[in-house]
């Protein structure tokens, strides 16, 4: 499994990244979390609002910051 | 009911006599605070639910079918209900342009979205009444329409950064939320937003209740009162580089209106602060060449100055 946090480095993007890391820790799994800051790659996902979260290439949420517990549900 | 609650707390529980200046001011402060926070909670919650039906992906689909004028007007209206954060300005701009939304229509959206929002409306409604709240929406739509049409007419497409046109935008299939998730999201959103803005709101209300009598009123009026023809442009020029949300401007707006500054000048200041800012310019520089960026700021500032004069002359 691969989780990507899409965003050009705004405050909310960092917050989402931290929530993802926390969710991964809560789930106890070994999951690769990556920050995607390149605008070309972000646009290839078709999102218009950041931060966004993609799990295995599927955009789960865009333009908001879900909590760690919510992200954990998607991981499991 | 709210009024009698405020009366009870101040005059009975705290036993401050109602005929003193302090008692009156405290009563007013408490009443306004409860009223505005109730309004804010309800309206932010409702707007968050409405917004979940207008994600930017959908707004883009609607606007890509529209041309000038109708498109500009629609972009202004959709800007009110589409969630927007300046950190999303770049992907949003690219996504709009790539799917064929005309440049001028895209700019109409970029003006209205940050400027007209639920927080500004609630505060204006609660502190100054529905006439001024409606005036703010109407004026914001005019500025967004005029600026977008003007930029569209100037054929500025070549002053967009080249890479924007070469971008490939994906299909944008985003998982749908259930209604329950929407409700939970709206609840969290309301709580987070209130947490962020409550100090400004309290200061805003406090300014109306207390500071009123203490700042010499002729100071501001001497420089920015009805008699000074340059008051509107000066207010806008001061407002443009400032970066704040609508809630942050309310204390200043309260103080200015309390001191008798004309409503057109005050609204122009508030719009300049929310619609244009230095950090936003830095973000937009990613997609716009300097020339278009300057023209964009220039046109929006001019439109705001225009409506400022308009309201000063008719009200």
Domains of chain A, CATH where assigned = 2-75 (3.40.30.10)
CA distance A16 to chain B (A): 14
ipTM for this model = 0.84
- H or E element in which residue B275 lies: helix B263-275
Q: Is residue A6 among the annotated active site residues?
A: no
* Contact between residue B314 and residue B117 where contact means Cβ atoms under 8 Å apart: no
Q: Catalytic residue at A10?
A: yes
Interface test with B, best of A5, A11, A19, A49 (most B CBs within 10 A): A49
Q: A50 vs B168: CB contact, 8 Å cut-off? A: no
Q: Tens of pLDDT along B224-249? A: 666 678 888 888 888 888 777 777 78
Q: Is B227 exposed, middle or buried (0-12, 13-18, 19+ CB in 10 A)?
A: exposed
Instruction: Report the chain A residue with the minimal C-alpha distance to residue B170.
Output: A46
All residues of chain A having their beta carbon less than 8 Å from the beta carbon of residue B60 are 48
Q: Which residue from A26, A28, A35, A73 is spatially nearest to A53, judged by alpha carbons?
A: A35
Which residue from B minimizes the CA distance to A9?
A: B87
Q: What's the CA gap between A15 and A70, in Å, rounded?
A: 14
Look up the pTM and report it.
Answer: 0.84
From A10, A11, A34, A43, active-site residue: A10
Q: Which helix (H) or strand (E) holds A69?
A: helix A68-75
Please write the tens of the pLDDT for every residue from B172-228.
666 677 888 889 888 988 998 889 888 888 887 877 666 544 555 555 566 666 667
Name the residue in chain A with its Cα closest to that of B163: A40
């Amino acid at each position: 499994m691969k989780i990507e946090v899409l965003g050009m480095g705004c405050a909310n993007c960092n917050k989402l990244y931290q929530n993802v890391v926390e969710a991964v820790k809560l789930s106890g799994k070994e999951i690769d979390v990556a920050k995607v800051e390149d605008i070309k790659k972000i646009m290839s996902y078709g999102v218009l609002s950041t931060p966004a979260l993609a799990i295995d290439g599927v955009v789960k949420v865009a333009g908001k910051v879900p909590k760690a517990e919510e992200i954990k549900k998607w991981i499991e | 009911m709210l009024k009698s609650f405020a009366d009870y707390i101040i005059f009975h529980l705290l036993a401050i006599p109602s005929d003193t200046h302090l008692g009156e001011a405290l009563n007013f402060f408490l009443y306004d605070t409860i009223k505005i926070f109730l309004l804010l909670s309800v309206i932010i919650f409702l707007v968050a639910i409405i917004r979940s039906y207008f994600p930017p992906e959908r707004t883009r689909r609607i606007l890509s079918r529209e041309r000038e004028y109708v498109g500009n007007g629609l972009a202004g209206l959709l800007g009110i209900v589409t969630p927007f954060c300046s950190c999303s300005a770049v992907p949003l701009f690219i996504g709009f342009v790539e799917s064929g939304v005309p440049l001028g229509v895209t700019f109409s959206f970029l003006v209205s979205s940050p400027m007209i929002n639920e927080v500004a409306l609630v505060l204006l409604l609660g502190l100054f009444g529905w006439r001024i709240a409606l005036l703010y929406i109407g004026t914001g739509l005019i500025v967004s329409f005029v600026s977008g049409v003007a930029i569209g007419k100037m054929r500025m497409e070549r002053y967009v950064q080249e890479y924007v046109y070469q971008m490939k935008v994906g299909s944008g299939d985003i998982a749908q939320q259930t209604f329950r998730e929407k409700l939970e999201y709206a609840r969290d959103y309301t709580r987070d937003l209130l947490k962020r803005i409550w100090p400004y709101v309290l200061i805003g209300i406090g300014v109306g209740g207390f500071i009123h009598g203490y700042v010499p009123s002729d100071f501001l009026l001497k420089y920015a009162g009805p008699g000074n023809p340059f008051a509107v442009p000066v207010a806008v020029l001061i407002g443009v580089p400032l970066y704040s949300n609508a809630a942050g401007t309310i204390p200043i707006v309260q103080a200015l209106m309390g001191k008798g500054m004309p409503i057109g000048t005050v609204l122009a200041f508030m719009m300049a602060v929310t619609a244009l800012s230095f950090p936003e310019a830095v973000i937009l520089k990613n997609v716009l060449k300097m020339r278009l960026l300057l023209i964009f700021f220039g046109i929006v500032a001019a439109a705001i100055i225009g409506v400022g004069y308009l309201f000063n002359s008719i009200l």
